[in-house]
């Protein structure tokens, strides 16, 4: 994609014919051109990678997201207690913690020396991103910033080191980042530790999920690859996606969406390859059971030799309610196996005999930007997988790919410690620790032998990597069934479980894809996948509603509810009447009861993982009582909320006057939209998570023999975090209607966009 500087110098909409008549052209070596198309998507044309980062940082902030980045930098600098006070709380991936706990953790756990970016191209991108963000701050009146940080003294320029720390925070979100409180509050016995809140770091993060589908040429209508990416991320806060297109002629030309401060698409596509990510079930950390020296709870034995823990005294500036700044010192502890932690609620208590440490290989991960740079430069699935293997910079996400030649691929090359099954057996911990590990489905190793240390990453040849011309899918279950036709087996247990019940969203994915691949007639087209995503089919209803209707028949107090559910079409479409009542019923039963056993009359069968378990036995008195009780509770909940039992689902989920679509993960909804509890007027839409960036990509062949992507997409919450911006809800309205829009990629498509505006940024000397 090359534009003439003349064509791009105007800030007004341009005629497509004028732009195209000036091609080909070169870009000025000291300028970055930001061409913005409909819905505020910036297409950044830069002479080099540092300039591309400059444009990305500027565009992100200028779209109304400066407050998000400024707030995230306060967090990773460990300055929240100074800015907002120590008792206030911050919402991290691991849950809500106090600012003092957050500051203690990030000051101790993120080490600037560990996070130096070795790749010079990636380092240039980050330097540029910082400079571009800083330019926006320098030229913007602080009173003109979004309300969330208007005139705030804590909105300060970013250094490349700040951004590297934020990248480090992104990398540890499935490792040490799940244990913020457990690490920050761990203290030896006979001291006075800071009380822990009721967070459970061993529970999967509830607001990070995704669907990904990669189809090869044997299944598609045109014989090329086809990819649908559908990450499920928070709609609020620093994990909001931002869509962009970055071009450095001769170096990279890639479009998609990213998380700040990554200057390139993390889920994206280019002229020959598309990829998406889903959150992996591989375990990105290992706990070690430390056997302590008698009489000294801060020393542990390794091969019979006493080794002292290393204390780290962390000084934290704190602003009191009177405005005075004082310093609070917290002591955190390290061992050769990693940071020491304590979780009494899970049985991981620091006693006179035992302590616990976490090995987190992502603590030193500075490869994120390099990874997405190399993926963006790959020309096919084989090159993309080679880039993953060479860089190992996808910390906690599976990767699904498709290319223009019709090859599809899947890989889980996440930051997993190198624990083979043989190593796990040889380094088995005590029986008590093994029981804790089994209950939490994690790996705990003995920490009294040097041979049980597990530095580095699991070798790529022991991890799931596969490609074909058919189908890969993932909806946050393990790698096992990502190739539904040929399950992957025989890999180390730390990579995720096999032969276990699948979440309903995985089963719905397999069901709907199976219907497409098994139908007579035409092969699969992009419109089929778009319709599949927005079909709003509810697998929980397909599996359980008949039993609910049987159980409520003949119950006078449930007659109205029973009639509503009997008329319901079993979808969670916005106009579906009965969907809200069923969702509350299903929530009252508990999240996805099929994963816990004992609810279904047909038990789970590993030979039929997409069809079992199923069929609650409504003739069983205990099951019937359970269903009737949950329905009575749901009816009472709706009436207390002021909602009719047959109100359309749109009445239950309104946000800013827009009726949202989608439904709970536990209902088996592909269009996953996680909302808060039911209250007056409907489900709480204050902080949704779920369907966020959607990209649907295929390719067409051009006259010169090259290929170009044909892409449709949607960012459900818009490009801007600023509620006053027109880019805050414009795409939410499209989402409410279940519509993707065309993503302009080629010069012709961009020039023809009716919303085209352009800006030229002179690069600093």
Tell me the average pLDDT across 550-572.
97
Quick one: pLDDT at residue 335?
Answer: 98
pLDDT tens digits, 292-315? 999 999 999 999 999 999 999 999
Q: Name the average pLDDT for the chain.
A: 93
Active site positions, annotated: 210
Characterise 237 by phi-psi region: left (phi > 0), alpha (psi -120 to 50), beta (else). Answer: left
Average pLDDT over residues 478-482: 98
pLDDT at 521: 83
Confidence of residue 598 (pLDDT cuts 50, 70, 90): low
Residue 2 pLDDT grade (very low, low, confident, very high; cuts 50, 70, 90): very low
Answer yes or no: is pLDDT of 204 > 60.
Answer: no
Q: What is the pLDDT of residue 93?
A: 87
Which pLDDT score is estimated for 584? 98
The tokens describing 251, both together, are: 């170096």
Strand segments, DSSP code E, in 531-643 are none
Q: What is the pLDDT of residue 660?
A: 96
Quick one: 304 exposed, middle or buried, by C-beta within 10 A (0-12, 13-18, 19+)? exposed
Q: 615: buried, middle or exposed (CB in 10 Å: 19+, 13-18, 0-12)?
A: middle
> Which residues, in sequence order, are bridge partners of residue 90?
97
Whether the pTM exceeds 0.85: the reply is: yes
Share of the chain above pLDDT 90, in %: 89
Closest CA to 475 of 271, 186, 668: 668
Residue 15's pLDDT is 37
Predicted pLDDT at 51: 98
pLDDT in tens, 401-433: 999 999 999 999 999 999 999 999 999 999 999
Return the pLDDT at 620. 87
Q: Tell whether the model's pLDDT for residue 599 goes beyond 90.
A: no
Residues 248 and 52 sit within 8 Å (Cβ to Cβ): yes
* Predicted local confidence at residue 619, as pLDDT: 87
Number of H-type helices and E-type strands within the chain: 21, 32
Residues 501/545, Cβ–Cβ less than 8 Å: no
Q: Which of 572, 576, 474 is nearest to 213 (CA)?
A: 474
What is residue 191's predicted lDDT score, i.e. its pLDDT?
73
pLDDT tens-digit map of 149-187? 999 999 999 999 999 999 999 999 999 999 999 999 999
pLDDT at 10 over 50: no
Of 1, 47, 57, which Cα lies nearest the Cα of 24? 1
Question: Is the pLDDT confidence value at 16 over 50?
Answer: no
Residue 635 is predicted with a pLDDT of 98
Strands 654-655 and 397-403: unpaired
pLDDT tens digit sequence for 329-386: 999 999 999 999 999 988 999 999 999 999 999 998 999 999 999 999 999 999 999 9
pLDDT higher than 50, residue 566: yes
> How confident is the model over 63-92, as a mean pLDDT?
97
CB-CB neighbours of 648 under 10 Å: 16
| Res. 230: pLDDT tops 50 | yes
Both ends of the chain: CA-CA distance in Å?
26
Q: Say how far apart CA 502 and CA 69 lie, in whole Å.
A: 36
Q: What is the distance between the alpha carbons of residues 7 and 20, in angstroms, rounded to a whole number?
A: 9
The per-residue pLDDT for 614 is 93
The pLDDT assigned to 205 comes to 56
Q: Residue 23 — very low, low, confident or very high, per pLDDT cuts 50/70/90?
A: very low
Distance CA 401, CA 411 (A): 9
């Amino acid at each position: 994609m090359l534009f003439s500087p003349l064509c791009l110098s105007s800030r007004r909409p341009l005629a497509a014919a004028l732009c195209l008549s000036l091609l080909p052209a070169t870009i000025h070596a000291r300028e970055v051109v930001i061409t913005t198309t409909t819905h505020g998507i910036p297409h950044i044309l830069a002479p080099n990678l540092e300039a591309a980062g400059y444009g990305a940082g500027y565009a992100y902030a200028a779209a109304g997201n400066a407050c998000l980045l400024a707030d995230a930098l306060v967090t990773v600098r460990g300055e929240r207690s100074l800015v907002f006070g120590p008792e206030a709380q911050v919402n991290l991936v691991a849950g809500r913690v106090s600012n003092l706990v957050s500051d203690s953790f990030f000051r101790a756990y993120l080490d600037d020396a560990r996070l130096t970016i070795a790749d010079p191209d990636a380092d240039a991108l980050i330097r540029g991103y910082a400079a571009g963000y800083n330019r926006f701050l320098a030229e913007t009146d602080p009173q003109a910033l979004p309300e969330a940080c208007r005139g705030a003294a804590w909105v300060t320029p970013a250094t490349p080191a700040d951004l590297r720390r934020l990248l480090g925070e992104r990398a540890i979100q499935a490792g040490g980042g799940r244990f913020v409180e457990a690490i920050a509050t761990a203290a030896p016995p006979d001291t006075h530790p800071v009380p822990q809140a009721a967070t459970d770091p061993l529970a999967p993060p509830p607001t990070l999920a995704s669907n990904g589908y990669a189809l090869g040429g044997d299944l598609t209508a045109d014989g090329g690859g086809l990819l649908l990416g559908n990450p499920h991320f928070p709609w609020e806060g620093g994990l909001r996606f931002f869509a962009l297109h970055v071009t450095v002629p001769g170096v990279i030309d890639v479009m998609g969406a990213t998380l700040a401060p990554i200057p390139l698409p993390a889920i994206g596509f280019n002229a020959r390859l598309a990829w998406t990510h889903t959150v992996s079930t591989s375990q990105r950390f290992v706990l070690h059971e430390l056997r302590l020296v008698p009489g000294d709870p801060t020393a542990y034995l390794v091969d019979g030799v006493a080794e002292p823990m290393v204390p780290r005294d962390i000084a934290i500036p704190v602003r009191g309610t009177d405005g005075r700044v004082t310093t609070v010192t917290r002591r955190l502890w390290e061992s050769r196996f990693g940071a020491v932690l304590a979780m009494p609620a899970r049985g991981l208590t620091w006693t006179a005999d035992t302590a616990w440490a976490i090995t987190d290989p992502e603590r030193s991960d500075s490869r994120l930007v390099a990874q997405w740079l190399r993926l963006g430069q790959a020309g096919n699935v084989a090159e993309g997988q080679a880039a993953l293997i060479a860089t190992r910079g996808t910390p906690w996400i599976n990767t699904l790919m498709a290319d223009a030649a019709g090859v599809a691929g899947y890989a889980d090359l996440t930051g997993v410690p190198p624990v083979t099954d043989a190593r796990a057996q040889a380094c088995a911990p005590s029986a008590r620790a093994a029981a804790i590990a089994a209950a939490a489905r994690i790996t705990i190793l003995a920490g009294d032998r040097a041979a049980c240390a597990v530095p580095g990453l699991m070798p790529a040849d022991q991890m799931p990597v596969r490609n074909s011309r058919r189908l890969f899918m993932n909806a946050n279950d393990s790698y096992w069934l990502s190739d539904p036709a040929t399950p992957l087996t025989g890999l180390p247990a730390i990579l995720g479980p096999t032969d276990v019940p699948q979440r309903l969203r995985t089963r719905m994915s397999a069901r709907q894809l199976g219907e497409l691949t098994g139908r007579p007639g035409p092969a699969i087209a992009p419109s089929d996948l778009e319709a599949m995503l927005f079909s709003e089919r509810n697998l929980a209803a397909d599996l359980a509603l008949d039993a609910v209707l049987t159980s409520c028949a003949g119950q006078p107090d449930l007659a109205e509810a029973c009639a509503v559910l009997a008329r319901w079409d079993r979808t969670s479409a916005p106009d579906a009447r009965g969907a809200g009542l069923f969702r509350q019923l299903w929530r009252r039963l508990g999240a996805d009861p099929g994963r816990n056993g004992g609810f279904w009359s047909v038990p789970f069968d590993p030979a039929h993982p997409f069809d079992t378990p199923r069929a609650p036995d409504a003739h069983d008195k205990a099951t019937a009582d359970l269903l009737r009780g949950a329905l009575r509770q749901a009816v009472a909940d709706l009436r207390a909320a002021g909602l009719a039992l047959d109100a359309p689902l749109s009445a239950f989920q309104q946000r800013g006057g827009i009726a949202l679509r989608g439904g709970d993960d536990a209902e088996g909804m592909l269009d996953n939209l996680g909302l808060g509890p039911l209250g007056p007027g409907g489900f709480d839409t204050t902080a949704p998570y779920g369907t966020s960036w959607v990209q649907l990509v295929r390719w067409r062949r051009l006259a010169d023999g090259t290929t170009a992507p044909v892409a449709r997409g949607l960012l459900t919450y818009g490009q801007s975090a600023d509620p006053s911006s027109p880019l805050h809800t414009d795409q939410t309205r499209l989402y409410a209607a279940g519509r993707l829009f065309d993503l302009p990629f080629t010069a012709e498509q961009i020039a023809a966009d009716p919303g085209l505006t352009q800006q030229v940024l002179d690069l600093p000397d």
